[in-house]
Amino acid sequence: MAVTAFDVAAVRERFSALQQPFAFMDAPGGTQVPDEVGQAMADAVRDASGNLGAPYATGRAVEAILARAKEDAARFLGSSPAEIVFGQNMTTLDFALSRVAGRELREGDEILVTALDHDGGVAPWVELAADRGLVVRTAAARDDLTVDVDDLERQLTDRTRVVAFAWASNAVGAVVDATRICALARDAGALSWIDAVHYAAHEPIDVADLGCDVLLCSPYKFCGPHLGVAHVREEVAETWRPYKARPSQSSPVGRRFETGTPAYELLAAFSATIAYLDSIGGMGPIRDYERMLGERFLARLPNGVTVVGPQGMEGRVPTFLLTIDGIEAADAAHRLAERGFGVWYSDNWYCVGLEDRLPPSSLRVGFAHYNTAVEVDRLAGELGRLAGSS
């Protein structure tokens, strides 16, 4: 089913969850899932409940599911199937891969992260540093809550081994210049290690063009299942000794870092997710449509509602951290839920590096491609009513 000129009404027909008046404006916390993705998961459980190597139909079925998922992930990221690694979720996969990479590190080696990173991309290095005597440094944030890449460059030393960073902030929506950071890491002889969980939900990715070594994302942010997906550059992966049950498959190279039996039903659902995204034009049209929603939202924000972080759509994805004059964020979120809008409230948003720079509590609004201009307008109106009631 192809959709032209981004027909959001046709898109929404494919989601049972959207056949209700409630407006999900909470994409940063996870998206709704089209029915065909759930159906693919159910079909795999029903028809392919087996394991690799079985000399009969279910063995062949799960082999096909895994092969297709690798191909789909590679195409989505601009990688190769051999370089794709699947895991339980991004954080678990990041801990696993960082432990493998850590075998090559020595006491005093340095890891460079940024103040805008989700802690799922920082904690693996903090814990590894505690185990191995490493040093974790943090590149600062500018006043507008974007990464200070100049500061990152200044902190690179001859002991820097990994530059780990979030491509887009899940807290304030700011996007960093990943191409420049990858080049800086490469010139310093360090690995570039990207948390693309938030970015992959809104923008196309091409790891070959980017020149990164490791990149991780999570399909539940772009209408898929809860799953971790990583690209590990083959030349890097081949140098790592994996943590692996010895008889299990280790070829192609990405399989070296996958432990145990894959969740075939999730892999089938992932492939259905990629097919769904392809059918509506792919990430390019999604990006353009979501940017239109973001611009519309910013243009309609009422007095008394403040955006924390970048003030326009330049250099950001459609994720907005908000405060409302005179209204506690928790109270606002519950009142919005009662009025038919799903938004989240929190304090640090897992962005520990910005904890002292963020409001004590705030609302987070984020759009996905299934949101509509009408929903954006209605939300802006409700925010105005909340601000006016204080």
Tell me, what's the pLDDT at 254?
Answer: 84
Residue 226 contacts residue 245 (beta carbons within 8 Å): no
Are 344 and 238 within one domain? Answer: no
What's the distance, CA 135 to chain centroid? 26
Do 230 and 109 lie in one domain? The reply is yes
The per-residue pLDDT for 195 is 98
Tell me, yes or no, whether 258 and 303 share the same domain: no
> Do both 65 and 18 map to the same domain?
no
pLDDT of residue 48: 87
Domain count, the chain: 2
C-beta of residue 299 within 8 angstroms of C-beta of residue 152: no
pLDDT at position 244 is 83
Residues of the chain scoring pLDDT < 70: 1-5, 390
Q: Specify the pLDDT at position 347.
A: 93
Look at residue 1 in the predicted model and tell me its pLDDT: 41
Among residues 251, 278, 305, the one where a domain terminates is 278
Name the one residue in this structure whose structure tokens are 């459980």. 45
CATH number at 220 reads: 3.40.640.10
| 3 in a structural domain | no
Q: What pLDDT score was predicted for residue 286?
A: 97
Q: How many CB atoms lie within 10 A of CB 99?
A: 17
CA angle 37/206/79 to nearest 5° reads: 70
Q: What is the pLDDT, as a whole number, of residue 178? A: 98
CA distances from 2 to 8, 10, 11, 49, 282 (A): 12, 9, 10, 31, 11
- Cα-Cα-Cα-Cα torsion 381, 382, 385, 390, nearest 10 degrees, comes to -140
Does residue 261 share a domain with residue 138? yes
Residue 327 within a domain: yes
Question: 317 lies in which domain range?
Answer: 8-32+282-389
**Measuring CA to CA, which residue among 298, 378, 387 is closest to residue 23?**
378
CA distances from 319 to 4, 143, 315 (A): 25, 18, 11
Q: What angle do CA 85, 319, 327 make, to 5 degrees?
A: 135
- Beta pairing partners, 215: 194, 231
Cα distance between residue 249 and residue 257, in whole Å: 10
Residues 224 and 287 grouped into a single domain: no
Q: What is the CATH number of the domain that holds 293?
A: 3.90.1150.10
Q: Is residue 2 part of a domain?
A: no
Tell me whether residue 105 is in a domain.
yes
Axis crossing angle, helix 57-77 with helix 264-279, rounded to the nearest 10: 50
How distant, in Å, are the alpha carbons of 205, 294, 298 from that of 284?
Answer: 10, 15, 21
Domain end, chosen from 230, 252, 278, is at 278
Give the global pTM: 0.96
